[in-house]
Each structure stands twice: as C-alpha cells, then as structure tokens.
Chains A and B, each alone.
Chain A
Amino acid sequence: MRILIFLSAFVIASGCSRHKAPEGLRVVSLSPGITEIIYAIGAQDALYGITSHCTWPPEALREKESVGDFSFPSMEKIAGIRPSLILAAGDGQGKAISHLTNAGYNVRVFHPADISELFRHIIEIGRLTGKEKKASELVADMKKDIRSIPKVKNKSVFIEVCPQPLIAASDKTFLSSVCEIIGLKNIAVFKDSYPGVNAEWLIRQKPDFILLTGSSEEEFRALHPYIKNAKLLRPSDIDIIVRPGPRITRGMREIYYLAEDAEKKQ
C-alpha cells in the first residue's frame, strides 16, 4: 500500500513538473490563431503580449497587453514586455519578424500549410510552453472532430479574400487545404498565396461555390453582378475559418453545412 502511495505521488509529482511552464517563460503571440492555441492548451499564464486582432477567447484582450497591429506591432511595446519567446504567423509579418530577429529576440514562426502541419505546431507550442499533454489531447480531439464532419462530393470552390480588387486565397493557403478536406476543390491554382484575379477568369472557371471571407453576400452581389451561377457561402464568423487554430474544426463544419444548405436551396 505504501509503495502504491509512493508510486502515485511520484507519478503526480513528475506529471506536475512536466506540465509546469518553463521558468521565466514570457511569450508574446503575434497571431490570433496562436493565441487561441495557447489558451486552448491552458498555457495562458506564460502569455504576456498579444495583438489587437487576438479577439478569442474574449478574456484574452482583457487580460493580456496588446502590442498593436498584426502586421505592424509596436516594437517598443514588445521590448517593454521583455519576451523570452515570440510566436508569429509569418504571412504578412515579414518586416516585423526580421526586425525582431535582428533585435536578438527568439522568434518562432508557425505558418501551417495544412491541417496536419497545424497539429504539429500545436504539439510544438505545447512543448515550448510545457503543456505537451494538453496539446496532444487537443490534437486528438480535433482529429476526432474532423473525422465526424461529412464531406461534400466533387464540388469546386473559389475563396474570396477581398471583393474589389478581387483577391483569392489560392491552393497554397491553409484555408484551401481545409476546404479540400471537406471535399471542396479550390479552383485558384497559383504560385502566390493571395493572388489578385480577373472577374472574367472567375466567370469562366464556373466554381460551384464562392466562399466569402472579405465581404457579405450583399456586398459581393453588388460588386460582381455578373457572377451569377456560383452559390455564395458566408460563414457567420469568419475568424473560425481563417485562423489556423483550435476552432478550425467548427469552421469546417460550418462550411460543410453552408454548402449543403446552398445545394438544397437549388
């Protein structure tokens, strides 16, 4: 019996030490997706700075200091936080990242190309913040969730980022890979991640769906009255589909149901 108590105490103690954040860890997150991951794995105590775009969970903006914009964060505010680790998203942050790296900060860029890379990033963020167990639980939950989402059959999609000028999210983006999983094939095959495209091209490509992330249905219809056949999908909350974070599974589910509803309406 004593041995049992001793053993369980050992396990608990070792477990605690394994799940404790590394001493003196001060993290600044420059990406809303990463902030969501940090909260989801319970590592928020090590988080000292976020961007003004980190709106989820709602308490993040209340509890943590904002270092400003996603692309142009305030270098002075970051310096004031004295971070030991800065986590960035990469896309659209090139200048800030190079300034921070040149200033000698430890900057890690997490720019997942697809969902499996996102899982690896969650595990890695878990490792960096001493929350490996919670991180692998989160990944397992997300995998299970994704398996339960039904798939659309052989449909094509155009992912709109900005209505005018018309900008697409190409097949090189995370969002595109997420759509692919639920059976929506992206028609925008380009070298760039976010190419500006011609409306004529879009009319000719005849996608089954247009996933709107930069405008409402009314706005898009007003700006592009000649694009008629494609069904518009506008998620209620854009953040859950564009942020590579723990809520992406909800986003995928929503895209699926929007597509299914649009099909039924036909």
Chain B
Amino acid sequence: MRGKKDFMLILAGAAAAGVFVFFLSVCLGHEGFGIPEDAILRLRMTRALCGAAAGAALAAAGVAYQTVLANPLADPYLLGSSSGAVFGIAALSFFGISRAGVLFPVTAGICSCLTVAAVLKIAGRSFSKKNIILSGVAVNFFLSAAVIFLISFRKKEFFSLIYFMMGDLGETRMSLISASVIIAAAGSLFLFYKSRFLNALAAGKTLSRQLGCDWKKESLIALIAASVVTGAAVSVSGTIGFIGLMAPHIARKFTGSDARFLLPVSASTGAILLMLSDLAAKNLLFPQEIPVGVVTAMLGAPFFLWIYRK
C-alpha cells in the first residue's frame, strides 16, 4: 500500500512531466531545439495549450466513464461522446455560425451528453462491457455519416470539417480556446471534487449504496460532467481518439484506482500524451502535417486490443 506521501510525489512528478513536455512542445521544432522567434513561439504555445487542455480533459472524462460504467474500455471516442460533440459543431457550421466563443463548447457538450444517453439506452440496462462499446461504435458510425451529410451542403467548409473529424490542434481563435479551456477545467475540477463519490461508484451499485451514495444520481452527474468536458475538448481539438482510454490506464499503474489521485495524474498523462502525439504529427513530415487524431489512433488502437485481451 502506498502512503499519502507517495501519492503526492507521484502527483508532483506527473505535473513536472507535464510542464516539461509543454516546454518541449514549445522549444522543439523542425530546426532543432531552442526558443523560437516571437510569432512561432506564440503559435507553439497556443498549440501546446490546446493539446494540454484537450488531452487532460479527455483523460479526466475517460476516468469518469471507466469508473461509472465499470468498463475499462470506455473512452469518450469509443462511447460516441466525441462524435456527438462533432455533430453539434457540424450542425452549427451548417447554419453558418462561425466557430468562435462559448456557443461551440456548450453545444458540443449538450450533444455529447445526448449521445452518451442514447448509447447507454441502446446498450440496455445491464451495461455489459461489450454492449456499451458495440452500441458506441454503431452510434459513432451513424453520427459520422450524419456529419458528412450535413457538411455536404456547405462545400466551403467540407474539407476543414473532415480534417477536424480526424483531430487538429491548429486552433488559434482565442475566444473559442479560452471558453473551451474554462469549461473543460471547470468540469474536470468538478469531477475531482466528486472523486470521493467516484470511488464509491467504483465499488459497485450495491456497495456504493451502503456507503451512503445515491448511485443513480451520482452516476448521472458524473456522466454529464464527463460529457460536457468532452464537448469542450472536442470543440478545440476535433475528434481525438484513445487519449481518454490510454491515459487512465497508464496513470492507474502508478496510483491505483483511488479517483482522488487517479484523476489528476490521468489528466497530466493525457496532456503529455496529446502534446507528444502532436509534436510527432507536426514534425514527422514537416512542413506537411498529419492530423493528430491519426497519431493517437495509431498508438491507441493496439492499446485498446491489449486492454481488451487482458
């Protein structure tokens, strides 16, 4: 058993690693290592901020989904939560609303909540692991098709949205970034505040009731918070898969399943994973770019199979 002091050390280590990777993302470029000129510095800082925020948010959402659904395979991407958010954003684009401000993360959050509700409804009452993932995949397919249908009407944004669906951290509109970061941070902090309940939920339906936790209400709150956080992350980064799956599993190796520690360490791990993936996406074929979602999927899909076989 690890003591509280050990946990604090792990937490500090994760935070320090996060800061280090942020620094790396800003200073490491195609030309080598060093502080770049002002315009590039700003660009890289914005990009690293988007990566860190989206990665941390997706990881926090992943912890909540995995805990509440007692499903190690749950993740915002596989649950259809991210696709729901993208659908909301595509719908706004369909009506010609430009991507800025609070409206986008909020709409994405609402659509993400509705999608998760639909997936769980389709999966049935038992919440069996395979059922949830299968209905998530089916809803994902449906929503992706719906998004492509919607944007077919708006040829001008077609390519941008297709790229967005593959994950892209090139967002620079500060009003959108700040709104999304605030919502994601607030949601993640709320989940952290609720981590005692998350621990109770992890103990299962019956035991959590004995621990004095209203299982239904707390599960619902945690799922809503996770979906809102996902919506905020998606509205800056597009669909980025598997971060919410990988980060909690990696973090669990260090912290165990106590949500009070698992959540912040996962968030930090998610941020690190996404910033590193983006570093690769940006520099592998410089000056051409690979969508960052492609990099995370290349890492995440084998990881998913590994967890599935365990």
Contact = CB atoms under 8 A, between A and B. Distances in A.
Contacts of B160: 162-165
Interface string A186-215: 000010000111111101100000000010
Interface stretch (A36-44, A117-125, A219-227): A219-227
A165 B163 contact: yes
A200 B289 CA distance: 11
Interface stretch (B37-45, B85-93, B190-198): B37-45
B153 to A, nearest CB: 12
Contact of B286 (A162, A164, A201, A228): A201
A162 B29 CA distance: 24
B40 A203 contact: yes
A200 B29 contact: yes
Interface in A212-258: 214, 222-228
Contacts of B43: 199-200, 203, 226
A228 B287 contact: no
B170 A200 contact: no
Contacts of B44: 200
Chain A interface category by residue count: 20 to 34
A227 B173 CA distance: 13
Main secondary structure on A side of the interface with B: loop
B172 interface: yes
Of A190, A200, A222, the most chain B CB neighbours within 10 A belong to: A200
A100 interface: no
A164 B40 contact: no
Interface in B19-41: 29-30, 36-37, 39-40
Contact of A165 (B39, B100, B168): B168
Interface residues of B, number: 24
Given A165-B163, A166-B170, A201 B39 contact: no
A222 B173 contact: yes
B172 A226 contact: yes
Contacts of B126: none
B172 A204 contact: no
Contacts of A167: 159
Contacts of A166: 170
A181 B39 CA distance: 31
Interface string B1-32: 00000000000000000000000000001100
Contacts of B287: 195, 197-198, 200-201
A151 B36 CA distance: 35
A27 B64 CA distance: 61
A200 B159 contact: no
A199 B168 CA distance: 13
A227 B288 contact: no
Interface string A157-193: 0000011111100000000000000000000001000
Contact of B170 (A164, A203, A214, A225): A164
Nearest to A214: B156
B29 to A, nearest CB: 7
B249 interface: no
Given A162-B160, A165-B163, A226 B288 contact: no
A200 B286 CA distance: 10
A199 B42 contact: no
A164 B176 CA distance: 15
Nearest to A200: B40
Interface string B129-173: 000000000000000000000000000100110010000101011
B173 A196 contact: no
A1 to B, nearest CB: 64
Given A196-B288, A199-B43, A203-B39, A224 B282 contact: no
Contacts of B159: 162, 165, 167
Contact of B172 (A165, A201, A223): A223
Contact of B289 (A165, A222, A224, A227): A165
Contacts of B288: 190, 195-198
A162 B30 CA distance: 23
B29 A226 contact: no
A196 B289 contact: yes
Nearest to B44: A200
6 contacts: A164-B170, A199-B43, A200-B43, A200-B287, A201-B286, A223-B173
Interface of A: 162-167, 190, 195-201, 203-204, 214, 222-228
Given A164-B170, A195-B287, A199-B43, 17 more contacts: A164-B160, A164-B163, A165-B159, A165-B289, A167-B159, A190-B288, A196-B288, A198-B282, A199-B170, A200-B30, A200-B40, A200-B282, A203-B37, A203-B43, A222-B173, A226-B42, A228-B39
Interface of B: 29-30, 36-37, 39-40, 42-44, 100, 156, 159-160, 163, 168, 170, 172-173, 282, 286-289, 291
